[in-house]
Amino acid sequence: MIEASGLTKSFASRSGAVVEAVRGIDVAVRRGEAFGFLGPNGAGKSSTMRMVAAVSPVSGGTLRILGMDPAVDGPKIRARIGVCPQEDTLDTELNVRDNLYIYGRYFGLPRAEVRGRVEELLEFVQLTDKASAKVDDLSGGMKRRLTIARSLINRPDVLLLDEPTTGLDPQARHVVWDRLFRLKQQGVTLVLTTHYMDEAEQLCDRLVVMDKGLIVAEGSPLELIRTWSTREVAELRFAPTHEHGGDLAAIAPKVADLAERVEVLPDRLLLYSADGEEAIAQVHERGLDPVATLVRRSTLEDVFLRLTGRTLVD
Amino acid sequence: MGPAGSTTRLDVRRAARMTDYWWVAYRRTWRGSAISSFVVPLLYILAMGVLLGGFIKGDPDQLEGATSYLSFVAPGMVAAQSMTTVFGEVTYPVMGMIKWNRSYYGMIATPLGVPDIVFAHLGFVVFRVALVSGVFLAVMAPFGVFSSVPGVLLAFLVQLLIGLAFAAPLYALTAALKNESGFALVFRLGMIPMFLFSGAFFPVSNLDRWMEVLARFTPLWHGVDLTRMLVLGRVDASLALVHVAYLGGLAVAGWLLATRLLHRRLID
């Protein structure tokens, strides 16, 4: 459905310097799968999505969407994909139904056909009751659902979702996930970006982790956890009154052999180990006496933080 | 322009798909605009043409051939209103679709291209000018200022040209402005001085020499003079041609620039 090789995107910044947002990525999205782009802010996810949406021109490399070149067949490609952008682009002064109706017309669909699809989609995203409400009066979650409904008006082969649940409360996120899961079951190819690891684990069959414009890892959520983390993680906290004055960096060497990897955080030590309980038992045996311990399974978040670092990106 | 810009060319049939959008958007506001587009011209004609005009002795030599101040000022006001309509329909609405509700971004995610969007939006502005100036001309009819029906019909078409001659460059300017704070300047230093000094309310020959030259370079003067010629039936063919060429050139140049600048704003 989507094939990119050596894909790059660069543009001139306000100061005139050339910014390389995407620095050569290879991606292949197959029919019917849910594919995710993960990465911190500025990793190049949105730039990639804008190219895949056949809106932003490719700077280098090749990109084929549904077998077509976006530089040649932009309108034809856009006719067959759905886009749910990060920021809503709804017409806030029109009502819910009109937003869907006019959008369907942009695709050149006959009026009667669009009217039918509008009612169907309102039902699908549970907005039938709000059909006559102005967009301005909708909650954030309702706007998101309307945006998703709008992106489906042309019955797309591929649905692109740029951070579909950012800013939503947990209830609204679960409703959106449920709808996206149903679409996936109907055979719609989903391509999404997110920085929520639970979202990626819930929805994606396969994903890539991007950092600084490059792909740093690729695989299913489970494969990524197996490759980049251990089965379990033991978390240890120590009291400030501990023998080393709570200096975790000084404690770390004493447990280094108990885990595949030890990570020192400001408030705790993380022991990446296949058996977390066993590691903690050993820690106690050595008389290190942590005040609190926790054993949990590795998540995609551990993978993500390992690959992209813990430093804040603005 | 990047490669995508050169491939998504203007496609009038595709642009026509936006008719539904503009129709829905218009229906939302038509009541308010319909009343004002009828009442405002009537008030202007009564106040400026009939009442103020009552104090002015109409000497055709001083009024560019008009036999009364009413028949001098009425065509000027039509042209001036065509201009002010455009300022209202382009500046804030275009900025809103770029920046506030970002609905242009929703449009470019569909098969529509930037040239289609600009074409449809300018088309809507011209439609609004047609309504407003059509009503204005209809309101003028009973006051006996028209010399001939064909003249009035041509004057009506001229309003559409004036509309486009202002709308296209103003669209380009809006696409280039970072935010709405520049509009205050556009209105105060652009629209209002033109409205007052471009020959709508008094002959520009009354101005100081340098101001008169300046006034004759404004697009509104060309629009006012052309409208007045046609309404009064005193057409100077070569000057009329200059007016049409000037306004047409402005419309075409502005249109090309608007497409280019909106592309840069939304895509690059």
pLDDT digits (tens, 9 = 90+) for B202-232: 999 999 999 999 999 999 999 999 999 999 9
Beta-bridge partner residues of A271: A234, A262
Give the model's pLDDT for residue B2.
41
Give the model's pLDDT for residue A246.
64
CA distance A117 to chain B (A): 16
Give the tokens for residue B41: 């011209």
Which one, of A36, A6, A150, A157, lies nearest residue A91 by Cα?
A150
| Residues A107, B102: C-beta atoms closer than 8 Å | no
Interface of A with B in 33-72 (CB under 8 A): 53-58, 70-72
Kindly list the residues from chain B whose CB atom is less than 8 angstroms away from the CB atom of residue A9.
Answer: none
Beta-bridge partner residues of A190: A34, A159
Give the model's pLDDT for residue A13.
79
Give the model's pLDDT for residue A169.
87
Kindly list the residues from chain A whose CB atom is less than 8 angstroms away from the CB atom of residue B109.
Answer: 53, 55, 78, 83, 85, 89
- Rounded to the nearest integer, the mean pLDDT of chain B is 93
* A34-38/A189-194 β-pairing: parallel
Kindly list the residues from chain B whose CB atom is less than 8 angstroms away from the CB atom of residue A53.
Answer: 109
In the predicted structure, residue B12 carries a pLDDT above the cut 90: yes
Among the partner residues A57, A75, A103, nearest to B106 by beta-carbon distance:
A103
Best B10, B102, B110, B112 member to test A by mutation, with max A CBs in 10 Å, is B110
From the candidate CATH numbers 3.40.50.970, 3.30.1230.10, 3.40.50.300, 3.20.20.70, the one assigned to the domain spanning A31-58+71-225: 3.40.50.300
Domain ranges of chain B: 3-266
How confident is residue B88, by pLDDT bands cut at 50, 70 and 90? very high
| Residues A89, B112: C-beta atoms closer than 8 Å | no
ipTM value of the model? 0.90
Give the residue ranges of chain A where pLDDT is below 50: none
Q: How many CB atoms lie within 10 A of CB A217?
A: 19
pTM of the full predicted structure?
0.91
**What chain B residue is nearest to A69 in terms of C-alpha separation?**
B4
| Residues B24, A94: C-beta atoms closer than 8 Å | yes
Among the partner residues B2, B101, B111, nearest to A92 by beta-carbon distance:
B101
CA distance B264 to chain A (A): 11
Span B250-258, mean pLDDT? Answer: 98
Interface of B with A (CB under 8 A): 2-5, 7-8, 11, 14, 17-18, 20-21, 24-25, 28, 101-113, 267-268
Tally A–B CB contacts below 8 A: 94
Which residue type does A43 have?
Answer: A
More confident residue, A203 or B31: A203
Which one, of B45, B72, B48, lies nearest residue B205 by Cα?
B72
Beta-bridge partner residues of A62: A5
CA distance B222 to chain A (A): 37
Pairwise CA distance, residues A99 & A93, whole Å: 9
B120, B23 in Cβ contact below 8 A?
A: no
Beta-bridge partner residues of A27: A4
More confident residue, B63 or B263: B263
Give the tokens for residue A239: 């009291």
In the predicted structure, residue B5 carries a pLDDT above the cut 90: no
Span B27-32, mean pLDDT? Answer: 81
In the predicted structure, residue B31 carries a pLDDT above the cut 90: no
Pairwise CA distance, residues A236 & A234, whole Å: 7
Kindly list the residues from chain B whose CB atom is less than 8 angstroms away from the CB atom of residue A83.
Answer: 109
- Does any CB of chain B come closer than 8 Å to the CB of residue A216? no
Best A13, A106, A143 member to test B by mutation, with max B CBs in 10 Å, is A106
Per DSSP, A193 falls in state: E
Span B77-88, mean pLDDT? Answer: 96
Domain ranges of chain A: 31-58+71-225, 230-297
CA angle A268/A240/A276 to nearest 5° reads 30
Give the model's pLDDT for residue B1.
38
CATH 2.40.128.20 fits A230-297, yes or no: no
Give the model's pLDDT for residue B56.
87
Kindly list the residues from chain B whose CB atom is less than 8 angstroms away from the CB atom of residue A16.
Answer: none
